[in-house]
């Protein structure tokens, strides 16, 4: 919303285009008018940014809402987790390989665009080929030479995404069930998408003025669409993983309440301290961040309000995995769920997000 305004620099661009006769005289008054209008509307746009973001958040499909909430906790685990020296060296090597392939691919694209006409003319004179046929042959040869670079970028992006994902969600030991497979798969595909954007957008920005074709953006959009399919599948599998974790957390909270303990401590293991129950859940179902229960007493400002009214995820970034209500549990509640006194809300997300959500749920007016 803040970037909707164009400033006085647009006058300079329009004036330069007019002086160089690159544009018509109609463009300058249009630039002035748009600048004046957007200057007036920008304050309202910025004021509407939070409600609009909340509206988009509410309308997102449930798997995407869950994924967005947990993604921050995965990045936090990558940054804060103990890293082996070999992992850091491998990540740096992959990054350098990625940059090298990108530089070679960009140089090849620019070189082909610059030398296409001279080479086509030379082929026409020396070999007697038609100009269009010569151009097509040169482009086909350039694409054939670029294919190994494209394959290298795809392979390195996959390895880099998998390496970073394993740093956040380590692989299970041989012979054990890999319970982190669903969140790791989602994180791998997300990192691959990010790498494609980081590499693809600069490549298009550098080569598009020279290539002047719609083929490259179309291929880039096709690649993003191909990655969007496994991303959606991963998000759907992650939703099932989160439901299983929410069920285990609710059972732990209810069991601790039946034992007469403090539900806010989220226990539930016979003969074990409450913290061990959540630690066991994190080990059995990794990828949920640090599930934290928060009990709502009579003075909580959240009593009688729905999750949509609280806008907990939009304000803090934390998501509600489950709500323990007496002997019952509400798994992955909807935005219309109204909170009651005595509820124990299980939160997931980064540490900062959970701390902010706890303050929002327990602060006094």
Residues 3-32 pLDDT 10s: 888 877 888 888 888 888 888 888 888 888
Q: Give 306's strand partners.
A: 338
pLDDT tens-digit map of 53-101: 878 877 878 778 778 777 777 777 777 655 566 777 888 888 899 889 8
Q: Are residues 73 and 189 in the same domain?
A: yes
- Which has the closest alpha carbon to 188: 163, 217, 220? 163
Quote the CA–CA distance of 170 and 181 in Å, as a whole number.
Answer: 10
Is there a contact between 296 and 341 (Cβ–Cβ < 8 Å)?
yes
- Which has the closest alpha carbon to 364: 295, 279, 269, 299? 299
Mean pLDDT estimate for the chain? 78
Is 330 domain-assigned? yes
The per-residue pLDDT for 277 is 60
Q: Are residues 195 and 259 in the same domain?
A: no
Say which CATH number the domain at 338 has: 3.30.70.1450
Backbone angles phi, psi at 20, to 5 degrees: -90, 0
User: Which band of pLDDT confidence, cut at 50, 70 and 90, is reported for residue 121?
Assistant: confident
Dihedral through CA 220, CA 226, CA 229, CA 230, nearest 10? -110
**Pairing label, strands 344-348, 328-331:** unpaired
Is 303 domain-assigned? yes
Q: Are residues 233 and 248 in the same domain?
A: no
Alpha-helical (H) ranges within the chain are 9-19, 27-47, 49-59, 62-80, 85-127, 131-168, 181-211, 215-258, 274-284, 307-310, 312-316, 351-362
Q: Give 293's strand partners.
A: 346
Q: Are residues 248 and 219 in the same domain?
A: no
Share of the chain above pLDDT 90, in %: 2
Q: Are residues 78 and 199 in the same domain?
A: yes
116, 138, 157, 184, 284 from 108: Cα distances, Å: 11, 12, 20, 35, 49
The per-residue pLDDT for 283 is 64
User: Which band of pLDDT confidence, cut at 50, 70 and 90, is reported for residue 319?
Assistant: confident
Is 53 domain-assigned? no
Q: Are residues 151 and 26 in the same domain?
A: no
Is there a contact between 256 and 218 (Cβ–Cβ < 8 Å)?
no
- DSSP characters for 303-341? TT-BHHHHTHHHHHS-EEEEEEETTEEEES--TTPBP-T
Is 278 domain-assigned? yes
Q: Are residues 235 and 257 in the same domain?
A: no
pLDDT tens-digit map of 126-171: 777 777 787 778 878 888 888 888 888 888 888 888 888 887 777 7
Q: Report the domain count for the chain.
A: 3
Which domain covers residue 163, as residue numbers? 62-239
Q: Are residues 22 and 133 in the same domain?
A: no
- Which has the closest alpha carbon to 110: 219, 214, 205, 223? 205
Instruction: Write 277-281 long-range contacts (CB < 8 A, 24+).
Output: 277/252, 278/249, 278/252, 281/245, 281/248, 281/249, 281/252
Backbone angles phi, psi at 186, to 5 degrees: -65, -40
Say which residue, 101 or 268, is predicted with more confidence: 101
Is 54 domain-assigned? no
The per-residue pLDDT for 269 is 38
Domain stops at, among 215, 239, 263: 239
The per-residue pLDDT for 259 is 63
Answer whether residue 233 shows pLDDT above 70. Answer: yes
First to last CA, the chain: 31
Q: CA angle 223-224-229, nearest 5°?
A: 100
Q: Are residues 282 and 175 in the same domain?
A: no
Is there a contact between 157 and 192 (Cβ–Cβ < 8 Å)?
yes
Q: Are residues 137 and 229 in the same domain?
A: yes
- Which has the closest alpha carbon to 91: 185, 193, 149, 161? 161
Alpha-helical (H) ranges within 169-214 are 181-211
The per-residue pLDDT for 44 is 92
Q: Are residues 302 and 221 in the same domain?
A: no
Domain stops at, among 208, 239, 270: 239
Entry pTM: 0.64
Instruction: Write 200-206 long-range contacts (CB < 8 A, 24+).
Output: 202/102, 203/102, 203/105, 203/106, 203/109, 206/106, 206/109, 206/110
Is 178 domain-assigned? yes
């Amino acid at each position: 919303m803040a970037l909707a305004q164009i400033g006085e620099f647009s006058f300079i661009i329009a004036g330069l285009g007019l002086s160089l006769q690159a544009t018509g005289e109609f463009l300058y008054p249009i630039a002035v008018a748009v600048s004046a209008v957007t200057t007036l509307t920008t304050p309202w746009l910025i004021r509407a940014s939070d409600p609009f973001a909340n509206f988009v958040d509410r309308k997102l499909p449930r798997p995407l809402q869950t994924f967005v909430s947990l993604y921050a906790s995965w990045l936090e685990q990558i940054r804060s987790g103990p890293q082996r020296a070999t992992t850091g060296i491998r990540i740096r090597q992959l990054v350098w390989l990625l940059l090298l392939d990108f530089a070679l691919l960009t140089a090849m694209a620019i070189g082909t665009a610059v030398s296409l006409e001279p080479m086509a003319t030379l082929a026409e004179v020396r070999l007697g080929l038609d100009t269009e046929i010569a151009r097509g042959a040169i482009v086909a040869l350039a694409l054939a030479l670029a294919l190994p670079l494209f394959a290298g970028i795809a392979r390195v992006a996959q390895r880099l995404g998998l390496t970073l994902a394993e740093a956040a969600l380590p692989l299970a030991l041989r012979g054990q069930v890999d319970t982190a497979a669903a969140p790791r798969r989602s994180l791998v595909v997300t990192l691959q998408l990010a790498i494609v954007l980081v590499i693809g957008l600069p490549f298009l920005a550098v080569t598009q003025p020279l290539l002047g074709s719609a083929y490259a953006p179309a291929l880039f959009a096709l690649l993003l669409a191909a990655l969007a399919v496994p991303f959606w599948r991963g998000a759907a599998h992650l939703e099932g993983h989160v439901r299983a974790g929410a069920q285990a957390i609710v059972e732990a909270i209810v069991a601790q309440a039946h034992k007469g303990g403090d539900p806010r401590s989220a226990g539930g293991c016979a003969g074990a301290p409450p913290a061990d129950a959540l630690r066991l859940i994190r080990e059995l179902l990794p990828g949920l961040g640090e599930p934290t229960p928060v009990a709502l007493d009579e003075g909580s400002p959240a009593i009688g309000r729905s999750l949509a009214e609280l806008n907990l995820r939009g304000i803090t970034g934390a998501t509600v995995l489950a709500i323990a209500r007496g002997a019952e549990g509400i798994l992955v509640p909807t935005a219309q769920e109204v909170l009651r006194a005595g509820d124990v809300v299980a939160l997931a997300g980064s540490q900062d997000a959970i701390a902010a959500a706890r303050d929002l749920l327990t602060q006094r007016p």
